[in-house]
Structure 1
Amino acid sequence: MKSVFKHARPVQEGQRLQGKVALVTGIGSGIGKTCALLFAAQGAHVVGCDIDVSAAEQTVKEAGARGLSLDSLHPCDLTDPTGAARLVEFALARHDGFDVVVNAAAFGAFAWLQDMDYETQWRRTLTGELDIVFLLCKAAWPALIARGGGAVINFASANATVALAGSPALAHCAGKGGVLAMTRQLAMEGGPHGIRVNSISPGLVETAATRAHMLRQPEFLERALAKSMTGRIGQPEDIAWCAVFLASDEASWITAADFSVDGGATAW
């Protein structure tokens, strides 16, 4: 791969989340996996989940090899209300409560409007990017209130505010735009309970899925790089470090905010 994919700060051990319990979804790959490992490396007890059993087991294995605290519920379908409730129950059974919810799991289908199927692409994307956040927040809310507050971190996208030429991302834009708006409302509702809710809007990040897409369509990569002020594509670690900050006590006066972690792509 070219150097445009490198230079992210790797997972490092520390104490920024010492003693906290964090729910992290989508731990099998990409941003969710990196958040789970980095949170654990920074002292958190992580309770994760994924619908992909083998991928989740691999992440748990990697955490165990490093002596990190990571439990996982898998398979877990968070697009089903019972799946979200099971994850909360699973976490409460292992800890007295939890302090952080990281909604990293998502699914999105990409197609142009005239080619997009309503049920399997449009509706499934809104379920996999918007409903999935609502359902876990709803399930986790009583436990966060009982805890005396906490932090919720949602993932919107650069596509929530800008359109990238050549990207058939209609459903994805709608889903992530909804996450952005929902985050502000949740922050207002959570404020009296000590619950902070923020979002991160990543630009193009290298994951297994995006890597395959970029290799198939190098012109897409060229357009994305043309928008970047840093001259490279993001790495999951770039996003996970921002999540660590928002989960930590360092961010105790930050809520209803969206953090663009995109190499400056949405600034021009």
Structure 2
Amino acid sequence: MRRLEGKVALISGTARNQGRAAALRFAAEGALVVGGDLRHEEALETQRLIAHEGGTALTPGPLDVTDEASVRAWTEEAADAFGGIDIVYANAGAVRFGAVDAQPYEDFSFTLRAELDSVWLTVRATWPHLVRSRGCVLTVGSTAGLTGSLTNRRTAHSASKGAVIALTRRLAAEGAPYGVRANCVSPGLIDAEGSRGDLLAEDHPMREIARHIPLGRVGEPDDVVAAAVFLASDEAAYITGANLVVDGGWSAVLPGAPTWKDNRT
């Protein structure tokens, strides 16, 4: 039995990276996937990839997760097509980096709309369906929402992801009386298109960060998605309000600590 057999899963941001990986993996686990992205043609390609593997997916028109009407239409089309909603994976987001003394307010506001408002709008639109199905919410936080950084100027990103983690805990509290679970997955640095053009670029100070990660590598989208599948499945039926950090141990150790070698005989 596949872990998400017959579940209707809404996943935002399915055009590429973690969103595409999530759509493919959830479908492989038996979910009926409803994807969406502003990059509609790429999201349709994700749908085609799912169909090629024998899965079921629907991708309505372009999805703008910062627009209430767009999110509501996406939600209702999913519910009409499949008769309900069991899983909401609020994955989509966008970020503009900058330090507090240099970032324009426009960029700060853009990041909060894309990373925080988008989650609230998605959950708000899907909540009645989740209550009926006793479903679950998955959000995407970040280690940026847990700690500061000396190398990455990410004021708005830290603020929005910290808020997403807090919002998830609040959703767990509000959902508990209805059997609705809410959990967050917080990745560390993930090798994806966006990070390769920024944080993992040749001239960025975080380029060599892998040697400081205890498990010795930068994460992959599938690392994050595997955690999300677990939290969405019945295996996590007694887990709500959790923030599962997927960062190779990066946030668990002191920065720059030397490797300790066991010389005991």
- Give the alignment's TM-score, normalised by structure 1: 0.91
1:49 aligns with 2:36: yes
- The equivalent position to 1:91 in structure 2, one of 78, 83, 94, is 78
Secondary structure at the aligned position of 2:197 is classed as: helix
Secondary structure of 2:150's match? coil
Q: Tell me which residue corresponds to 2:114.
A: 128
Task: Check if 1:205 corresponds to 2:190.
Answer: yes
**Aligned-residue offset at 1:226:** 4.0
Q: Where does structure 1 differ by over 3 angstroms across 4 or more consecutive aligned residues?
A: none
Q: Contact conserved, 2:96 with 2:157, CA < 8 A, in 1? A: yes
Aligned to 1:68: 55
Alignment partners' CA distance in 2, 1:76 and 1:27: 10
1:207-241 superposed Cα distances (whole Å, 9 cap, x missing partner): 1110122124353121x324311110000000000
The residue number in structure 2 matching 1:254 is 239
Which 5+ residue runs of structure 1 have no aligned equivalent? 1-13
The 5-angstrom pairing of residues 116-195 of structure 1 reads: 116-119=103-106, 121-147=107-133, 149-195=134-180
Structure 2: tracts of 5 or more residues without a match: 254-265
Letter in 2 for 1:131: D
Q: Does 1:220 align with 2:206?
A: yes
**Secondary structure at 1:153 match in 2:** strand
CA contact (8 A) 1:157 1:203 kept: yes
> Matches of 1:177 and 1:227 in 2, distance apart?
23
Contact 1:184–1:198, Cα closer than 8 Å, also in 2: yes
Partner of 1:106: 93
Paired residues of 2:211 and 2:217 also in contact (CA < 8 A)? no
User: Deviation at 1:28?
Assistant: 0.4
Give TM-score scaled by structure 2 length.
0.92
Q: Which structure would you say has the larger Rg?
A: 2
Count of residues paired in the alignment: 252
Q: Alignment identity in percent? A: 38
Counterpart Cα distance in 2 of 1:250 and 1:49: 27
1:103-133: CA deviation from partner (whole Å, max 9, x where unpaired): 10001101122221102x1001000000000
Q: Relative to total residues, which structure has the larger helix share, 1 or 2?
A: 1
Pick aligned residue for 2:8 from 21, 25, 28:
21
Residue 197 of structure 1 aligns to a residue whose secondary structure is: strand
Structure 1 letter corresponding to 2:112: L
